Amino acid sequence: MQTPGFFRSTQRWLVRTPERTLNQAYEAAQMIEAIEREYFGGNPISTRYGSYGDSATAYFQGELKKYLNLIKVRMAIFRASRSVVRVSDPPMMEVQIPASDASELSVNVIDQQAVFFRKLQFIDAVLARYANLDSNPERVITLENGASAGLPSSTQVLRSRADQAKAGQITDSQNGVVRGAGPSGIVTNVPTPDGKRDAGLSERVNVLPRSILRTVDRIRQDLDPNAEQEVVKEFRSSKSKTTAAIRFLLLLIIVPLLTQQFTKTFVVGPIVDRFRGGVEDANVFLNIEMEEEALHELQQFEERLRFEVLLGKAPPLTELDIEQRVRNKATEIEEDYRTRSASAVKNVFADILAAAAFALLLITRRQDVAILKSFMDEIVYGLSDSAKAFIIILFTDIFVGFHSPHGWEILLEGLSRHLGFAANRDFIFLFIATFPVILDTIFKYWIFRYLNRISPSAVATYKNMNE
């Protein structure tokens, strides 16, 4: 009977529930602190302490929410189990005897209550930094449709910071106001709930030109005694991010290719060969195009053979010899196309597994995805205006330009041949008539929505070069 042992293990598991749940909550709090220390300079995980893109910000907020929920659930279980379970272990002292060196025996005495207290203090400190996220979300008063502040109060609504970001509104934390961009693009000043109003446009203009202020600021940074350390720190951070981005980019390329080749050779290949070899009437040709190609190849061989005999380049052959050679060539063509058909079937399953490996990388390595996106943004937006215009024109001419349909046609036909499908001309023409148009629309929207706001001179250079 294993019942007493089962009850003892269950009792031991229940007794250790408070310690186990506290350790899990403590580990989650340590993960939050590690993210703060690594990416936000020890500050709370917030957009005001880190200049990251939308994808990286969403990732960090998701990680923060996950760990906070984990801490809350584990602490609830900890409190419930502490109030119910009576711990039989010594509450104050715990003795640990390390077994690393038997000759020198050392005894470490640990105050278990003090360890619990330090972990609880650490967890409470982490929760206190994010206590106002759920109970007191930041709200500001804005005017709808970017209207002026003189409208009746009935048009004033409460919007969250996310809604303001979508509406193109900017919060000025120093002056306590919200500047909302109306439909005409004119920035309007709206008083915040504390009654303060932003200064006028003339008051916001600096006395000195911004270029002079930037020059003074650069000189001040150069004279700063800690400037060299800051430069080295930024260089190391940039180097680590670049290395991580390039490594992840290589993984995105190499892992699917290796997965496709490995599964095709050692996993999918033997299964397909065994299945098709066991079926005697397995189709040699997967589609009518392959059969037509084989017949055309055999016909060319027979005509070339007769032509060489007539020219005297080959010894005279009787009709029986010609027929025998044509029969042998037909057997070779059959084996060749049987291998092609089997390879196409293998490619279908191997490509599916390669796509699954690619998707698994994107799902499990979200932090690397955010770093790669930030790296690509820095490369694209760090180029000169002429380089940006050159790259945009190059990509648009290749994928959505006048000569792009020929490239798409070759690409789709090659993909159909790779997977063993017949090239459907109607589908190819329909794809060429729709997909490049969608890509062109996306390019134009990106230029209008983002590039025009970030680098207007690059847009002007692009228009001049495109004309």
Look at residue 110 in the predicted model and tell me its pLDDT. Answer: 52
Largest CA distance in the chain: 107
Look at residue 89 in the predicted model and tell me its pLDDT. Answer: 47
| C-alpha triplet 29, 32, 35: angle, nearest 5° | 150
**Pairing, β 108-111 against β 139-143:** unpaired
- Six-digit token string for 415: 């993909």
Q: Residue 160, SS3? A: strand
Which contiguous run of DSSP H or E holds residue 190? strand 187-191
Look at residue 284 in the predicted model and tell me its pLDDT. Answer: 80
Looking at residue 317, what DSSP letter applies?
-
Residue type, 427: F
Residues contacting residue 467 through CB under 8 Å, at least 6 positions apart: none
Q: What are the start-end ranges of the H helices in 312-455? A: 319-364, 366-382, 385-400, 404-419, 425-446, 452-454
- Six-digit token string for 453: 């706001």
- Six-digit token string for 169: 């509104």
Segment-wise mean pLDDT, segments of 10 residues, the chain, 467 residues = 62 78 88 85 80 79 87 85 60 49 47 78 87 49 39 37 41 40 39 41 52 76 76 83 92 95 91 73 79 92 90 85 91 90 91 95 92 87 85 87 86 89 88 90 86 82 81
Rounded Cα–Cα distance for residues 172 and 195 (Å): 14
Matching residue, tokens 């003074």: 216
Rounded Cα–Cα distance for residues 126 and 227 (Å): 31
Q: Residue 228, SS3? A: helix
Matching residue, tokens 């040709």: 285
- Six-digit token string for 235: 């260089």
Look at residue 222 in the predicted model and tell me its pLDDT. Answer: 73
- Six-digit token string for 159: 């919007």
Q: At what angle do helices 3-15 and 17-39 cross, to 10 degrees?
A: 40
**Cα–Cα distance list, 124 to 22, 73, 132, 137 (Å):** 12, 14, 13, 20
Contact (CB, 8 A) for 49 and 64: no
Q: Cβ-count burial of 61 within 10 angstroms (0-12 exposed, 13-18 middle, 19+ buried)?
A: middle
Paired residues of 179 in beta bridges: 170, 189
Rounded Cα–Cα distance for residues 46 and 59 (Å): 12
**CA within 13 Å, CB half, 369:** 16
Which contiguous run of DSSP H or E holds residue 156? strand 156-160
**Cα–Cα distance list, 249 to 55, 90, 255, 392 (Å):** 17, 53, 10, 22
Q: What predicted TM-score, i.e. pTM, was given to this entire model?
A: 0.52
